[in-house]
Amino acid sequence: MNSTDSYYQKQLFLAQVDKNDQIIGPVERWLAHKEGILHRGFTAILTFGDSVLLQHRKHIAFDDMWDLTFSSHQLFQDGQLEPDINAISNALEREWNVGKEDLNGEPVFQGKVYYQAKDPKSIFTEHEIDYVYSANLTKLPKPNLDFAYGFDLIKVNNGEIISELTKYALAPWVEEIVKNIDLKF
């Protein structure tokens, strides 16, 4: 069994939220995605030098799409929602083999977006308020190929990346992030 099998089989609980981003309570992750229940998630955009890392997603939902660098969910643990920074650190280790020591400081909050999108290739729907962070890497990571087909680097031109993204099949939350958040690199 590879690491994605065991990760996807775990019962995990996300934060169900209302449209005002107020936490209603925990909701099991696959139930949330099958029924399109509004929940909280995050995207962490990693930069290395003058480039942004894109992840070519290998996932049971929105597979084969490109992400700004990776996205996941804050989890309920022992009745409490884990802090965003902890969730980001856990996902960095799981998907990118990167520890906190490989970042130049803490991830920086960039904003949040609301979106809803049905995966055309599966039974899943993302209905999410997505917290967006950015962080700079001290070294180029090696992605865990259980969670990614690979990655690409796109150069930041005069502080923006939008024109470079047009050649990728972007995950729907990436489109919302680029449209609604004035990303600073």
Domain ranges of the chain: 12-180
Q: What was the pLDDT predicted at 144?
A: 94
Average pLDDT value for the chain: 92
Q: What was the pLDDT predicted at 5?
A: 59
User: How do residues 113-144 score in pLDDT, each as one tens digit?
Assistant: 999 999 999 999 999 999 999 999 999 999 99
Q: What mean pLDDT do residues 169-177 have?
A: 95
Q: How many CB atoms lie within 10 A of CB 129?
A: 19
Residue 136, H or E segment: strand 125-136
Residue 3, H or E segment: helix 3-9
* Main-chain phi, psi angles of 3, to 5 degrees: -65, -30
Q: What mean pLDDT do residues 146-167 have?
A: 86
Q: What mean pLDDT do residues 13-21 have?
A: 97
The answer, yes or no, to whether residue 161 has pLDDT greater than 60, is yes
pTM of the model: 0.93
How many angstroms separate the CA atoms of 33 and 2, rounded? 22
Domain 12-180 has CATH 3.40.640.10: no
Q: What was the pLDDT predicted at 8?
A: 78
pLDDT-based confidence at residue 1 (cuts at 50, 70, 90): very low
The answer, yes or no, to whether residue 10 has pLDDT greater than 90, is no
User: How do residues 98-114 score in pLDDT, each as one tens digit?
Assistant: 998 999 999 999 999 99
Q: What mean pLDDT do residues 14-33 have?
A: 97
Higher pLDDT, 1 or 120: 120
The answer, yes or no, to whether residue 156 has pLDDT greater than 60, is yes
